[in-house]
Amino acid sequence: MSATATSPSLAPIRFETDPGRYKHWVFEVAGPIARLGMCVQEGEGLRDGYQLKLNSYDLGVDIELADAIRRLRFEHPGVRVLVLDSRIPRVFCAGANIHMLGSSSHAFKVNFCKFTNETRLYLEDMARETGIHTLAALGGTCAGGGYELALACDEILLQDDGNTAVSLPEVPLLGVLPGTGGLTRLVDKRKVRRDLADVFSTVAEGVKGRRAQEWNLVDQVIPSSRFQQAVEERARAFAEVTGVRGRDAQDAPVVLEGLGGAYDDGGVRHRFVTLEVDAPARTATLVVRGPQGPPPPDPAAARAGAQDLWLLRAARELDDVLLDLRFNRPEIGTVLLRTEGDAALVGAHDRFLEAHQEDDWFVFEVAMAWKRVLKRLDLTARSMFALIEPGSCFAGTLFELALAADRSYMLDDPERPCTVALAGLNRGTYPMSNGLSRLQTRFLGDPERLEAALGLSGPIAPAEALEAGLVTLAPDDIDWEDEVRLAIEERASLSPDALTGMEANLRFAGPETLETKIFGRLSAWQNWIFQRPNAVGEQGALTLYGRPERPVFDWRRT
């Protein structure tokens, strides 16, 4: 067990799974309709000490959900609609398990909310990017995070049985906020009136029946006698919608096999991505290695060799490493981003991706896998320094790592040359949460400099990269070692709380979107509220939930 793991008494969390190992979801595909039935096993929590009653969920439940969404996109090209329902009578989902939250560390609670937010957004991405519609069938009580899951779907159908309600009870019952975008989606996505949203968010029992539909909390309310029939009819109607992005039921599935990584106190080792931990220094080095050969000749060959396709495997490995870093190594504050390999080969793979992402669904999904993992990097609460040295391959897709970094250092030594390179993919294939590319965000308000940078052809040397604004600093060989070392040591000496706040403020310049509101505004509030005595003190609402005692609040507004 690593000294930097979540807690001395807790085993590290692993994020790889597959349908054969699901404990909490029933995953079914019948022609163009897929169904994910929530059937949470009470005694199968990720940790001991709580029961997952009433389809309440913990991180383990959401790990399975994220895996199912990913597999739906790669392994089921004939699917046109996803129905989310419950296999437990009279309940859809009671939300995040309260006793799990109450017994978890502050860092775990915040990272749990962040991962769950990302998973909800993946559902919305799937509908927007592929045309696979999502339908939430609420055949029972739907509270808290359960309703937030429904809000991430395209449509919500509610059973009208006199008892079934939707609710966000966090404020009146727990003294916290809905943790996965519920408040933001109410007013931004569903356009619920502010005053009605205010009432809804402070009524613990929620809203049911016709009022839920009138307030636009759900799309349709259906009598119990017709509910299952109506869900089936709506799913079939969605499935008949044309224009699903290049997906063909006759295409062979691309099965996502296990990555087979090695994990220990010293880090994580995958084929193309490794994490090397220096626990005493509270730093880690994350290395992404480039491809070892040319790209496949065509998309059919890419699908046939998907398990070894560098673009797909490297994205999946990087995602796994980032999640391991977040949950299992909380004391690591600074991550050094390095790449190794042939930049020309990276460029060749990027050109393959760029050439086929518009006309082949699988290649498009590979590009979107990179979009998602780069967003995960943006949203990871660690200081990121990119180190560009001889042997690096910060080109195209991998140059996005340097753009995502808080700083980038590029060695300027004529005796040991190194370069960076841009590609068409850097123009906007991988947007940030603000809807802009990382280059657009970097040159916000200076479109001429943005176009000048994108116009640079061929490998870009240190002086040119510095002049173009593509790197932060370019020390020479005499200053390199000391300048990088001092920067890392200085970073490690600063308050991690202040750095998390500073980095989150600086990373997302530009327009505010649903995503930036959820991750910026909501995450900041959760970070604060989850530490306030009114929620987690000895007499706080979250601490006392389920007990006969009433919470005792400090009534001062701050």
Average of pLDDT values for 395-421? 97
Q: Is the pLDDT score of 4 beyond 60?
A: no
Percent of the chain residues past pLDDT 90, beyond the cut: 87
pLDDT in tens, 216-240: 999 999 999 999 999 999 999 999 8
| DSSP secondary structure of 13-60 | P-----GGG-SSEEEEEETTEEEEEE---TT--SSSS---GGG-B-HH
Beta carbons within 10 angstroms of residue 78's beta carbon: 17
On the question of pLDDT at 409 being above 50, the answer is yes
Which whole number is the average pLDDT over 261-269? 97
Task: Identify the three-state secondary structure at position 171.
Answer: helix
Q: Is the pLDDT of residue 243 over 70?
A: no
Give me the CATH topology for the region 19-239. Answer: 2-enoyl-CoA Hydratase; Chain A, domain 1 (3.90.226)
Question: What is the average per-residue pLDDT within 468-478?
Answer: 97
Q: Give the helix ranges, DSSP H, for 43-105.
A: 59-75, 98-103
Q: How far apart are CA 7 and CA 97, in angstroms?
A: 19
Please give the pLDDT value at position 242: 58
Render pLDDT for 65-105 as a digit per residue (tens, 0 to 9). 999 999 999 999 999 999 999 999 999 999 999 999 989 99
In the numeric block, the tokens 């909390």 are attached to 217
How does strand 90-93 pair with strand 133-138?
unpaired
Furthest-apart CA atoms within the chain: distance in Å: 78
Q: Give the pLDDT score at 241.
A: 76
- CA dihedral in degrees (119, 121, 125, 128; nearest 10)? 140
| Residue 156's pLDDT band (cuts 50, 70, 90) | very high
Q: Measure Cα distances from 222 to 64, 163, 219 in Å.
A: 29, 13, 10
Residue 311 has pLDDT above 70, yes or no: yes
**Mean pLDDT (the chain, rounded):** 94
| Location of structure tokens 């001395």 | 8
- Average pLDDT rounded to a whole number, residues 113-120: 95
Where do we find the tokens 């989606």? 185
Asked if 19-239 and 262-500 have one fold, the answer is: yes
Superfamily (CATH) of domain 262-500: 2-enoyl-CoA Hydratase; Chain A, domain 1 (3.90.226.10)
Per-residue pLDDT reduced to its tens digit, 18-76:
999 999 999 999 999 999 999 999 999 999 999 999 999 999 999 999 999 999 999 99
Section 121-130 average pLDDT: 94
If you average pLDDT over residues 445-472, what whole number do you get? 94
Cα 494–Cα 497–Cα 501 angle in degrees, nearest 5:
105
For the chain, what are the domain ranges? 19-239, 262-500
pLDDT band at 5 (very low <50, low <70, confident <90, very high): very low
pLDDT confidence of residue 7: 39
